[in-house]
Amino acid sequence: MRLGEQLLKDGLVSADGLEEALEAQVVHGGRLGTNLVELGLLTEQDLSKTLGKLHNSAFASGEMVPDPKAMELVSPNHADDKEYLPMRVDATRLSLAVVNPHDFATLDAIAFRTGKRVVPVVIPEFRMNQLLRRYCKAFRPLRAIDMNAVRLRPAPGSPAELAKAEEKPPDLMSEEEFQSVYASALRGGADYDDSDLGEEEIITGVEVLEPAPMAPVAQAPVAPPMPPQVAARPPVAPPLGGMAPPPVGGIVVPPPMAQVPAAAQMDAALGGAEATAPVQPPRAPEPPPTPLTFAEAQAELARSSDREDVARTVLRFALGKWKRNLLLSVQGSLVTGWHGMGKGVRDAVVRRIGVPLREQSTFRLVRDTRSHYIGPVRRDAAMGVFYKLMGGGFPTTAVILPLLVRGKVVHLLYVDNGPDQLTPPDVGELLILSQSVNRSYEAMMRRRKSA
């Protein structure tokens, strides 16, 4: 049974809510559960429990702090590549937070190299991304959920919904508040207020490997974290559930020399387990993208199979007219970077962009009016960070075009000719192309639902 079917069966989401999340998944990517939580249609706890039921696995939710002793047993690069994170370790067992508890090749390799019985604990995709970003310095694109831009919706027709409709819209966060949340999201999100998502709930134990049919799964206590051994490790927030952080004395004893290369040995050993596979030659660097004509872009959009195809096509068309080109995602009150092309634009840096849609913001004006904008961009601190990430300063003028799907702004196309330069207001073909983007997404949504 699939996740959506199980959620419908358990009455945790409605058919309309599931359809909305499937549409959001087509536009914004990520797994279905991530989009459901992000839309405020499902709590993280219910998502985790349902994932545990589907996979017949232990599950966890909320903020988590890994045991430093467990982290020393694996390579951060390998954990990032295979999407897992060691959480607890004792004399015989190693608990791993995972997204896919059925990746038996990885689990068996870790068990063989560590000599521990590996217990997989399934967690939601967005929570894994935050943990890997924080503890393995992994790169993961920002989403609205990482910026604390998620609020649960009241049930239709409930007193809470009626009260919400009458209340005054809340003030937008200040620049200082946004910068604090933004910096926290880049680190992994463990510092911001997660009261809406709840405390950590984790289950580990024999029932994972030896399940009893129809028997309820009992919660076992979580082992307290071991004292840290590495002096350079940054301080971490205390794990939820009432446990205090491990005490850190004034003198930190460095680990024995034999323990220092453990992660590197683990990485090499895990690679050695796959030595029988054919050696792949190093991949040649991809050639720079070439611009598309208007007719070519129209044809490419008609053939698009996913959101990445849409992004490449739109940006390659813009590349023939402007020097800096970005596609941004709009999720609620937040604009996040997606892809970019052009002079000085690095795709990996674009994905670190996060801009709040506050009052008198140029981005917010385009989102609210659903109309393109040509002119100077309002100079504020958030846009200063935006241009710094782009590798240059403010242009004299810029063009910002909303891309709509079913009447809702889902992306912003931003183009300019670089710092202190004028941007030609040639947007006629872009406006026509935006209609093709809408049709491409509509076709993808129909295919996604039918599947």
Mean pLDDT of 165-175: 45
Which residue bears the tokens 């007719």? 295
Where do the domains of the chain lie, and which CATH numbers do they carry? 3-136 (3.30.300.160), 294-450 (3.30.450.40)
pLDDT, mean of residues 333-346: 91
Question: For position 7, what pLDDT does the model report?
Answer: 96
Angle separating helix axes 307-319 and 15-28, nearest 10 degrees: 40
- Distance (Å, rounded) from C-alpha 258 to C-alpha 263? 11
pLDDT of residue 356: 85
> Is the model's pLDDT at 353 over the cut of 80?
yes
**What number is the average pLDDT over the span 208-231?**
38
Give the chain's mean pLDDT. 77
Average pLDDT over residues 223-233: 42
- pLDDT tens digit string along 143-156? 888 876 555 555 55
Spatial distance between the Cα atoms of 441 and 409, rounded to a whole number of angstroms: 13
Look at residue 214 and tell me whether its pLDDT is greater than 80: no
- Full DSSP string of 183-219: HHHHHTS-SS--TTT---EE--SGGGTSPPTTPPPPP
DSSP 224-279: PPPPP--TTPPP-PPPSSSPPPPP--SS-PPPPGGGTTHHHHHHHHHHHTTTTSPP
State mean pLDDT over 410-418. 95
| Cα atoms found within 13 Å of the Cα of residue 360, Cβ hemisphere only | 4
Q: What is the pLDDT of residue 380?
A: 83
In this prediction, residues 261-278 reach a mean pLDDT of 46
Rounded to the nearest 10 degrees, what angle do helices 15-28 and 428-450 cross at? Answer: 130
pTM: 0.69
Burial of 406 (0-12, 13-18, 19+ CB in 10 A): exposed
Cα 282–chain centre separation: 28
pLDDT band at 230 (very low <50, low <70, confident <90, very high): very low
What pLDDT, on the 0 to 100 scale, is given for residue 341? Answer: 94
* Tokens found for residue 331: 């999720």
Residue 381: predicted pLDDT: 82
With cut-offs at 50, 70 and 90, classify the pLDDT of residue 339: very high
Q: Which one of 9-23, 177-191, 237-251, 268-282 scores highest in mean pLDDT?
A: 9-23
| Lowest-confidence segment of 58-62, 234-238, 307-311, 332-336 by average pLDDT | 234-238
Which pLDDT belongs to residue 71?
95
Q: What percent of the chain has pLDDT over 90?
A: 54
Residues 6+ apart with CB under 8 A from 343: 323, 324, 418
pLDDT tens-digit profile of 93-139? 999 999 999 999 999 999 999 999 999 999 999 999 999 999 998 88
The predicted model gives 59-84 an average pLDDT of 94
Please give the pLDDT value at position 352. 85
Average pLDDT over residues 227-251: 37
Task: Answer with the residue of higher pLDDT: 200 or 56.
Answer: 56
408/437 Cα distance (integer angstroms): 13
Beta-bridge mates of residue 337: 328
pLDDT (mean) for 254-266: 43
The answer to whether residue 70 scores a pLDDT higher than 80 is yes
Residue 393 or 180, more confident: 393
Q: Is the pLDDT of residue 351 over 70?
A: yes
β-strand partners of 97 = 85, 121
The pLDDT of residue 121 is 96
Tokens 């249609």 belong to residue: 41
What is the share, in percent, of the chain residues with pLDDT greater than 70?
A: 69
User: Which tokens in the block code for residue 315?
Assistant: 């940006």
Mean pLDDT of 376-398: 88
**3-class DSSP state of 379:** coil
Place of tokens 């071991």: 226
By CB atoms closer than 10 A (0-12, 13-18, 19+), residue 270 is buried
Three-state DSSP state, 28? helix
Reported confidence tier of residue 283, pLDDT bands at 50, 70, 90: low
pLDDT at 438 exceeding the cut of 70:
yes
Indicate the DSSP class of residue 112: H
Q: Of 185, 194, 72, 195, nearest to 131 (Cα)?
A: 185
| Range 89-121 burial, b when 16+ CB lie within 10 A, else e | beeebbbbbbbbbebeebbebbbebbebebbbb
The residues with which 398 forms a beta bridge, in sequence order, are 375
Secondary structure tally for the chain: helices H, strands E: 17, 11
